[in-house]
Amino acid sequence: MTACVLLQVWVYPELRDGRVFFQADSDSQLTKGLAALLVEGLSGCLPEEVVRLTPDFIEQLGLKQSLTPSRNNGFLNMLRLMQKKTLLLVSADTSYAAASPPAADPSRPVYSAMLAKLTAALQPTVLEILDQSHQHAGHGGERGLARATETHFAVTVVSAAFNGKSAVARHRMVYAALLTELDQGVHALTIDAKTPDES
Protein backbone atom coordinates (compact mmCIF):
# COMPACT_ATOMS: atom_id res chain seq x y z
CA MET A 1 0.00 0.00 0.00
CA THR A 2 1.42 3.38 -1.04
CA ALA A 3 0.94 6.39 1.19
CA CYS A 4 -0.18 9.63 -0.41
CA VAL A 5 1.72 12.65 0.88
CA LEU A 6 0.21 16.09 0.31
CA LEU A 7 2.81 18.83 0.05
CA GLN A 8 1.98 22.41 0.85
CA VAL A 9 3.32 25.46 -0.95
CA TRP A 10 2.96 29.03 0.25
CA VAL A 11 3.26 31.92 -2.21
CA TYR A 12 3.21 35.59 -1.27
CA PRO A 13 3.36 38.30 -3.99
CA GLU A 14 3.66 42.04 -3.54
CA LEU A 15 3.65 45.00 -5.92
CA ARG A 16 6.52 47.47 -5.85
CA ASP A 17 6.71 50.26 -8.41
CA GLY A 18 4.35 48.43 -10.75
CA ARG A 19 6.31 45.17 -10.66
CA VAL A 20 5.54 41.98 -8.78
CA PHE A 21 7.92 40.31 -6.34
CA PHE A 22 7.41 36.88 -4.81
CA GLN A 23 8.26 34.95 -1.69
CA ALA A 24 7.58 31.22 -1.51
CA ASP A 25 8.08 28.32 0.86
CA SER A 26 7.19 24.63 1.11
CA ASP A 27 7.36 21.81 3.64
CA SER A 28 9.44 19.80 1.12
CA GLN A 29 13.05 20.66 0.35
CA LEU A 30 12.76 19.68 -3.32
CA THR A 31 9.53 21.63 -3.76
CA LYS A 32 11.10 24.57 -1.93
CA GLY A 33 13.94 24.49 -4.47
CA LEU A 34 11.55 24.47 -7.43
CA ALA A 35 9.61 27.34 -5.90
CA ALA A 36 12.86 29.27 -5.48
CA LEU A 37 13.51 28.93 -9.24
CA LEU A 38 10.15 30.51 -10.01
CA VAL A 39 10.65 33.23 -7.40
CA GLU A 40 14.05 34.10 -8.87
CA GLY A 41 12.77 34.07 -12.44
CA LEU A 42 9.49 35.95 -11.96
CA SER A 43 10.30 38.52 -9.28
CA GLY A 44 10.70 41.96 -10.81
CA CYS A 45 8.50 41.20 -13.82
CA LEU A 46 5.46 43.23 -14.82
CA PRO A 47 2.22 41.52 -13.78
CA GLU A 48 1.18 41.04 -17.40
CA GLU A 49 4.49 39.30 -18.10
CA VAL A 50 3.84 36.84 -15.27
CA VAL A 51 0.27 36.19 -16.42
CA ARG A 52 1.27 35.57 -20.05
CA LEU A 53 4.14 33.18 -19.26
CA THR A 54 3.58 29.75 -20.81
CA PRO A 55 5.03 26.46 -19.54
CA ASP A 56 7.30 26.22 -22.61
CA PHE A 57 10.21 27.64 -20.64
CA ILE A 58 10.36 24.43 -18.57
CA GLU A 59 11.51 22.49 -21.64
CA GLN A 60 13.81 25.30 -22.78
CA LEU A 61 15.62 25.17 -19.42
CA GLY A 62 15.87 21.38 -19.59
CA LEU A 63 13.90 20.98 -16.37
CA LYS A 64 11.21 18.70 -17.78
CA GLN A 65 13.71 15.94 -18.49
CA SER A 66 15.06 16.20 -14.94
CA LEU A 67 11.71 15.99 -13.16
CA THR A 68 9.38 13.07 -12.60
CA PRO A 69 5.88 13.56 -14.07
CA SER A 70 4.46 14.31 -10.62
CA ARG A 71 7.19 16.88 -9.89
CA ASN A 72 6.66 18.46 -13.31
CA ASN A 73 2.93 18.76 -12.59
CA GLY A 74 3.73 20.27 -9.21
CA PHE A 75 6.03 22.82 -10.85
CA LEU A 76 3.29 23.78 -13.32
CA ASN A 77 0.78 24.08 -10.48
CA MET A 78 3.14 26.45 -8.65
CA LEU A 79 3.41 28.58 -11.79
CA ARG A 80 -0.38 28.70 -12.13
CA LEU A 81 -0.71 29.60 -8.44
CA MET A 82 1.73 32.49 -8.85
CA GLN A 83 -0.14 33.70 -11.94
CA LYS A 84 -3.48 33.53 -10.14
CA LYS A 85 -2.14 35.38 -7.09
CA THR A 86 -0.68 38.02 -9.40
CA LEU A 87 -4.09 38.61 -10.98
CA LEU A 88 -5.73 38.83 -7.57
CA LEU A 89 -3.03 41.20 -6.37
CA VAL A 90 -3.39 43.70 -9.19
CA SER A 91 -7.19 43.55 -9.07
CA ALA A 92 -7.13 44.39 -5.36
CA ASP A 93 -4.65 47.24 -5.83
CA THR A 94 -6.84 50.08 -7.10
CA SER A 95 -3.80 52.23 -7.79
CA TYR A 96 -2.23 49.75 -10.20
CA ALA A 97 -4.29 50.39 -13.32
CA ALA A 98 -4.01 54.16 -12.89
CA ALA A 99 -0.34 54.13 -11.95
CA SER A 100 1.07 51.85 -14.60
CA PRO A 101 -1.00 51.63 -17.78
CA PRO A 102 0.73 50.99 -21.08
CA ALA A 103 2.00 54.28 -22.49
CA ALA A 104 0.31 55.94 -25.44
CA ASP A 105 2.54 56.38 -28.49
CA PRO A 106 1.85 59.33 -30.83
CA SER A 107 3.71 57.53 -33.62
CA ARG A 108 1.22 54.65 -33.40
CA PRO A 109 -2.26 56.22 -33.55
CA VAL A 110 -4.21 52.94 -33.82
CA TYR A 111 -2.38 51.43 -30.83
CA SER A 112 -2.92 54.60 -28.81
CA ALA A 113 -6.63 54.74 -29.68
CA MET A 114 -7.07 51.07 -28.71
CA LEU A 115 -5.27 51.71 -25.43
CA ALA A 116 -7.48 54.68 -24.53
CA LYS A 117 -10.74 53.03 -25.55
CA LEU A 118 -10.16 49.68 -23.80
CA THR A 119 -9.02 51.47 -20.64
CA ALA A 120 -12.14 53.67 -20.62
CA ALA A 121 -14.59 50.88 -21.50
CA LEU A 122 -13.28 48.05 -19.32
CA GLN A 123 -11.17 49.63 -16.54
CA PRO A 124 -8.71 46.73 -16.81
CA THR A 125 -6.27 45.72 -14.10
CA VAL A 126 -4.01 44.26 -16.80
CA LEU A 127 -3.96 45.49 -20.39
CA GLU A 128 -1.42 44.43 -22.99
CA ILE A 129 -1.66 45.38 -26.66
CA LEU A 130 0.84 43.63 -28.89
CA ASP A 131 1.28 44.98 -32.42
CA GLN A 132 1.94 42.01 -34.71
CA SER A 133 1.59 43.92 -37.97
CA HIS A 134 5.23 43.42 -38.98
CA GLN A 135 4.56 39.67 -39.15
CA HIS A 136 1.96 40.23 -41.88
CA ALA A 137 3.73 42.58 -44.29
CA GLY A 138 2.35 42.14 -47.79
CA HIS A 139 -0.90 40.62 -46.49
CA GLY A 140 -3.55 40.63 -49.19
CA GLY A 141 -5.85 42.98 -47.31
CA GLU A 142 -3.01 45.28 -46.36
CA ARG A 143 -1.91 45.89 -49.95
CA GLY A 144 -5.21 47.60 -50.70
CA LEU A 145 -4.78 50.17 -47.93
CA ALA A 146 -2.34 53.00 -48.32
CA ARG A 147 -0.25 53.66 -45.21
CA ALA A 148 -1.98 50.86 -43.29
CA THR A 149 0.88 49.89 -40.98
CA GLU A 150 -1.11 48.96 -37.85
CA THR A 151 -3.25 46.05 -38.96
CA HIS A 152 -2.77 43.01 -36.70
CA PHE A 153 -2.96 43.02 -32.89
CA ALA A 154 -3.11 40.63 -29.94
CA VAL A 155 -4.86 42.00 -26.88
CA THR A 156 -4.77 40.66 -23.33
CA VAL A 157 -7.35 42.19 -20.99
CA VAL A 158 -8.02 41.35 -17.35
CA SER A 159 -11.13 43.12 -16.11
CA ALA A 160 -13.88 42.72 -13.53
CA ALA A 161 -16.26 43.80 -16.30
CA PHE A 162 -15.99 40.23 -17.64
CA ASN A 163 -17.39 38.66 -14.46
CA GLY A 164 -20.27 36.34 -15.32
CA LYS A 165 -19.76 36.82 -19.07
CA SER A 166 -19.14 34.04 -21.59
CA ALA A 167 -16.07 34.08 -23.82
CA VAL A 168 -18.22 35.27 -26.74
CA ALA A 169 -19.74 38.08 -24.68
CA ARG A 170 -16.28 39.19 -23.54
CA HIS A 171 -15.04 39.34 -27.12
CA ARG A 172 -18.10 41.35 -28.13
CA MET A 173 -17.30 43.88 -25.39
CA VAL A 174 -13.79 44.32 -26.76
CA TYR A 175 -15.07 44.55 -30.36
CA ALA A 176 -17.64 47.16 -29.33
CA ALA A 177 -14.94 49.32 -27.75
CA LEU A 178 -12.76 49.07 -30.88
CA LEU A 179 -15.47 49.29 -33.55
CA THR A 180 -13.92 52.30 -35.30
CA GLU A 181 -10.46 50.71 -35.49
CA LEU A 182 -11.87 47.45 -36.82
CA ASP A 183 -13.83 49.33 -39.48
CA GLN A 184 -10.87 51.46 -40.55
CA GLY A 185 -7.94 49.13 -41.06
CA VAL A 186 -7.39 46.56 -38.29
CA HIS A 187 -7.61 43.23 -40.12
CA ALA A 188 -7.01 40.80 -37.25
CA LEU A 189 -7.49 40.99 -33.51
CA THR A 190 -6.59 38.13 -31.17
CA ILE A 191 -8.25 38.50 -27.76
CA ASP A 192 -7.41 36.95 -24.39
CA ALA A 193 -10.11 38.20 -22.00
CA LYS A 194 -10.05 37.14 -18.33
CA THR A 195 -11.59 38.07 -15.02
CA PRO A 196 -9.25 38.90 -12.12
CA ASP A 197 -9.82 35.54 -10.44
CA GLU A 198 -9.01 33.46 -13.53
CA SER A 199 -5.51 32.13 -13.98
- Assess if residue 3 is contained within a domain: no
pLDDT in single tens digits along all 199 residues of the chain: 444 444 577 888 998 888 899 998 887 888 888 888 889 989 999 888 887 777 777 766 666 666 777 777 888 888 888 888 887 777 666 555 544 556 667 788 898 889 889 988 998 888 888 888 877 665 544 444 334 588 999 998 988 899 999 999 999 999 999 999 988 888 889 999 999 888 5
Question: Do 113 and 190 reside in the same domain of the chain?
Answer: yes
Domain containing 23 — which CATH number? 3.90.1010.10
For residue 1, the model assigns a pLDDT of 44
Q: Which of 92, 115, 149 is the last residue of a domain?
A: 92
Evaluate whether 159 touches 124 at the Cβ level (below 8 Å).
yes
Evaluate whether 129 touches 115 at the Cβ level (below 8 Å).
yes
Question: Do 74 and 116 reside in the same domain of the chain?
Answer: no
Helix (H), strand (E) at residue 156: strand 152-158
Domain enclosing residue 30, as ranges = 9-92
Helix (H), strand (E) at residue 10: strand 9-16
- Assess if residue 2 is contained within a domain: no
Q: How far apart are CA 196 and CA 62, in angstroms?
A: 32
Question: Do 106 and 181 reside in the same domain of the chain?
Answer: yes
Q: How far apart are CA 43 and CA 19, in angstroms?
A: 8
Question: Do 87 and 151 reside in the same domain of the chain?
Answer: no
- Assess if residue 199 is contained within a domain: no
